[in-house]
Amino acid sequence: LAELLSGLLDLSSRGDKALARQLTDKLRALITDGRLKSGERLPSSRTLARTLAISRNTVVQAIGQLESEGYLTISRSRRPVVGDSVASADAFTSGADARKRSPAFRLSPWAQHLGDAAWPPVYRGRPRAFQPGFADEREFPRHIWGRCLRQAAHRVRRHPRQGPNDPDLQQVLLKHLAVHRGVRAEPRQIMILPSAQAGLALVAKVLIRTGDVAWMESPGYGGAFAALRAAGATVCGLAVDRDGLKLAERRQAPRIIFVTPSHQYPTGCLMPISRRLDLLQFSNRTGAAIIEDDYDSEFHYDGRPVAALAGLDPSARVFYVGTFSKVMMADIRIGYLIVPEALVDAFELAQRHIGLLADMTMQAALAEFIERGAYRSHIRRMTRLYRSRRDRLVEALASEAGRHLSFDIPAGGMQLLARCKGAIDDVKLSLQLQAAGVITRPLSEMLYHRSSQRGLFLGFGAWNEAEIDAGARILGAHVRRS
């Protein structure tokens, strides 16, 4: 009892409820740290209450709680007894020390090799010129977006929706894609997902059996490689030429072909109609599914954007992937996937089984944002802005590093691929640039076939002209030196 009391005497009295909670915690601690041992019998609640000068009710509450947790049992004499095997708890409760002891984990083969992948590149600190993949968030109409969000949050629905995808968003998004990307589908074919990457992973998961072959462009998008690998595919990179992915006769037919026909990632080239039709015919003949990633295709500077594959043949095995994060801001993590009509039910189930749900308030706010025309007008405004930034970058690169870098002027998107004219180590160059405050992505890290291509991939959308000029000067100085 002395032991017990010394552990309990410093109960501070701040109202009965707080007291019961304190008493519970103290008693539990006495048990877990071994001062009260298995089988030990506590005084009756009456005795405890009197000795501690607190109400008996408080003691009864605490003992009841510890009984429900299994720390105490009540003996026939109505006195609490410390439960069996709880003394061993001290093995687990050495606090901060214990946290250091880290158990060994056997990971899945996939997880074991996650660290080897060159994707995603991780940069510390804030994004800087020319880190690819970012929209200029400074230009985003936050006031309109905030209103859409609040409106969506306030809309009191009697009960939540049952499905994972908001029909309103499906409807307005499809309308937008039909007009601007030539997509033909029914609204219910659109799955709303936490990211475009989730869309790639989901298609792969639904279609790939371990060991199936998938084709992707090389150089190409590392995220596609990652998603296909996650599903167990053997990924082959096929070289791209000026018209994008070049089909090849290979020993093993692919189950999935990943392409970025609108402007190839990262080269920016456009796949012409003849090759698109070849691709669709190949898919028809072999049964291969096509993932069309329509990555940042909303921004087109020279002429109108070319219609999507998903519009050429609505009956084809085309899975169309897009995202809001490039158009609006990186923080908006909602992507979408259009699946063939025959697979809508399977994909909705797959979404639920692996938890790929997008927030409903966010979906409603996006529907409102599109419906109001704010989405379209933001795209229009950004297209003008990004075009002028593209021109600025092209000019700055030509003057700072024109003798060492060659590039095509991208007809759309937010990125430019500058190829090295000599045999430059682009990984080393990129690291030097990073140390100097300029972020670039080396082309050699985007290759998925044997190739000596070298270059730097530069994002120009998120930086203003002064930032572009400053970045280009640093870049030029390093390129000239290497």
Ranges within 214-273 binding a copy of itself (CB under 8 A):
226-227, 229-231, 243, 255, 270-273
Residue 39 near residue 81 (C-beta atoms within 8 A): yes
Here's the x/- map for a copy of itself, 23-52, by CB under 8 A: it reads as: -x----------------------------
Alpha helices for 319-462 (secondary structure H): 344-353, 360-371, 374-401, 426-435
Q: Binding of a copy of itself at residue 209 (CB under 8 A)? A: yes
- Minimum separation from the CB atom of position 135 to a copy of itself (A): 9
Of positions 247, 350, 379, 385, contacts a copy of itself by CB under 8 A: 350
Q: Return the residues of window 166-195 that contact a copy of itself according to CB under 8 A.
A: 184-186, 193-195
387 burial (CB, 10 Å; 0-12 / 13-18 / 19+) is middle
Does 281 engage in binding with a copy of itself (CB under 8 A)? Answer: yes
- What is the identity of the amino acid at 418? A
Specify the residue, 70 or 437, whose C-beta has the smaller distance to a copy of itself: 70
Q: Please choose, from the candidates 325, 326, 346, the residue with its C-alpha nearest in 3D space to the C-alpha of residue 334.
A: 325
Number of residues that bind a copy of itself (CB under 8 A): 139
Strand partners, 213: 234
Q: Whole-angstrom Cα distance, residue 270 to residue 82?
A: 74
113 to 142, contacts with a copy of itself by CB under 8 A?
Answer: 114-115, 117, 120, 122-127, 134, 137-138, 142
What pairs with residue 245 in β-bridges? 240
Contacting range for a copy of itself; rule: CB under 8 A; set: 354-362, 401-409, 445-453, 466-474: 354-362
Pick from 354, 431, 436, 466: which binds a copy of itself (CB under 8 A)? Answer: 354
- Which one of residues 181, 333, 389, 478 is an interface residue with a copy of itself (CB under 8 A)? 333
342 near a copy of itself, rule: CB under 8 A: yes
Half-sphere exposure of 127 (CA within 13 A, CB side): 18
Nearest to a copy of itself of 55, 88 (CB atom): 88
**Residue selected from 55, 57, 252, 284 as contacting a copy of itself according to rule CB under 8 A:** 284
Least distance in angstroms from the C-beta of 408 to a copy of itself: 13
Tracing tokens 């629905």 back to the chain, one arrives at 157
Determine, following the binding rule CB under 8 A, whether residue 15 of this chain makes contact with a copy of itself: no
**Cα gap 4→392, rounded to integer Å:** 77
β-partners of residue 335 are 193, 323
Among 8, 330, 385, 427, binds a copy of itself (CB under 8 A): 330
Of residues 144 and 477, the one with the C-beta less far from a copy of itself: 144
Per-residue x/- track, 380-419, a copy of itself (CB under 8 A): -------------------------------x--------
Stretch touching a copy of itself by CB under 8 A, among 47-55, 213-221, 301-309, 474-482: 301-309
Distance of CA 41 to the CA centre of its chain: 54
Asked whether the CA dihedral 308, 309, 311, 312 is positive or negative, the reply is positive
* Separation CA 365–CA 359 (nearest Å): 10
Among 14, 37, 46, 161, contact with a copy of itself (rule: CB under 8 A): 161
Beta pairing partners, 88: none
Contact region with a copy of itself (CB under 8 A), list: 3-11, 153-161, 379-387, 393-401: 153-161
Binder of a copy of itself out of 172, 207, 433, 475 (CB under 8 A): 207
> Where does residue 201 rank: exposed (0-12), middle (13-18), buried (19+ CB within 10 A)?
buried
**CB 361 within 8 Å of CB 153:** yes
Cβ distance to a copy of itself smaller for residue 140 or 425:
140
Q: What is the CA radius of gyration of the chain?
A: 30
Residue 10 found at the interface with a copy of itself (CB under 8 A): no
Burial classification of residue 8, based on how many CB atoms lie within 10 Å of its CB (0-12 exposed, 13-18 middle, 19 or more buried):
middle
Q: Interface with a copy of itself by CB under 8 A: which range of 39-47, 352-360, 372-380, 395-403?
A: 352-360
In sequence order, the β-bridge partners of residue 258 are: 216, 291
Q: Which of 355, 110, 114 lies closest to 222 in space, CA to CA?
A: 114
Task: Give bridge partners of residue 417 from the DSSP assignment.
Answer: 457
Tell me which stretch binds a copy of itself (CB under 8 A): 300-308, 402-410, 422-430, 441-449.
300-308
Structure tokens at 1: 């009892």
Give the one residue of 95, 248, 249, 450 binding a copy of itself; rule: CB under 8 A.
95
Residue numbers 429-448 binding a copy of itself by CB under 8 A: none
Q: Which is nearer to a copy of itself, 407 or 463 (CB)?
A: 463
Does position 76 interact with a copy of itself (CB under 8 A)? The reply is: no
Q: Taking the CA of residue 170 as centre, how many other CA atoms within 13 Å lie in the half-sphere pointing to its CB?
A: 20
Nearer to a copy of itself, 57 or 315 (CB): 315
Q: How far is the CB of 451 from a copy of itself (least distance, A)?
A: 24
**C-alpha closest to that of 48 among 66, 69, 68:** 66
